[in-house]
Amino acid sequence: MKLSVSNIAWTKEFDEEMYRFLASERIDGLEIAPTRIFPEAPYEKLEEASLFATKIKCDYGLVIPSMQSIWFGRSENIFSSQEERNVLSDYTKKAIDFAAATGCENLVFGCPRNRTFKEESEKKAAILFFEELGEYAHSKNTVISMEANPPIYNTNYCNTTLEAVELVRTVGSKGFLINLDVGTMIQNGEDIHVVEAARKWIHHVHISEPGLAMIEKRPFHKELAKYLRETGYDRFISLEVKTQEDIQTLKDAVHYMQEVFA
């Protein structure tokens, strides 16, 4: 397993300090929210994105294993209308192109506020939507990873990990897999049996808490680490917390992740 940390955990002023820290701790990757690097129109900056990826690799030994907050600032809803789905599809393809430019092999699909439905019949539209995007991602050597988000994030679609599994199975694209979110599992009271059901499709893992609170030390983390090792999971485990004012607290969380998952 390889380790990474999401850059939503600190503000821009701490970028260099955190990059140096991650390098000193031999952390493998930096998960990014694109607007943290390029606040305006990030997906129009493919050349700059490629240069950024090259720089952090050369200077700090960090790769970009994953992107998150890929629809930050968007208000459209995939269940609203075909017009809005088309807008979001085109925008997501630009995000995929951005990922390809940085060598990023995973795009986390959370976007809870953009995926609320009113009628059960509306859910069918999501299948074709994700199938098209999954195939496009696969053509660019990357993957969109569906993240289950519980209702606390203001969505009623794909609230549980097992619902994410069912969606991914139905879509059936090599470019549409699962982001296993531990915060979701905690909020839902899910256990290791859910991980077993999802194992075949897990492409990325977020170590998180409900509401992206600071990580608590939990026996489940050790149980999860043991299961992932035994089943040969060799992709990234990524620490995901909301922006921290106390950088030392964040560094302590990184050390904890290392103790459990390295």
The CATH number of the domain where 236 resides is what? 3.20.20.150
**Which domain range does residue 211 map to?**
2-261
* Whole-number Å distance between alpha carbons of 207 and 139: 28
pTM: 0.96
Structurally, how many domains does the chain consist of? 1
* Residue 252: per-residue pLDDT: 98
State how far the Cα of 34 lies from the Cα of 127, in Å rounded to an integer.
Answer: 26
Residue type, 134: G
Identify the bridge partners of residue 108 per DSSP, sorted by sequence position. 145
Burial of 68 (0-12, 13-18, 19+ CB in 10 A): buried
**What is the pLDDT tens value at each position of the chain, 262 positions in all?**
999 999 999 999 999 999 999 999 999 999 999 999 999 999 999 999 999 999 999 999 999 999 999 999 999 999 999 999 999 999 999 999 999 999 999 999 999 999 999 999 999 999 999 999 999 999 999 999 999 999 999 999 999 999 999 999 999 999 999 999 999 999 999 999 999 999 999 999 999 999 999 999 999 999 999 999 999 999 999 999 999 999 999 999 999 999 999 9
CA 239-183-175 angle, to 5 degrees, is 75
CA 137 to chain centre: 15
Structure token digits, residue 89: 């599809």
pLDDT of residue 63: 99
Question: What's 39's DSSP letter?
Answer: S
Q: How many angstroms separate the Cα of 198 from the Cα of each of 104, 113, 203? A: 22, 24, 10
Q: Residue 84: what residue type?
A: E
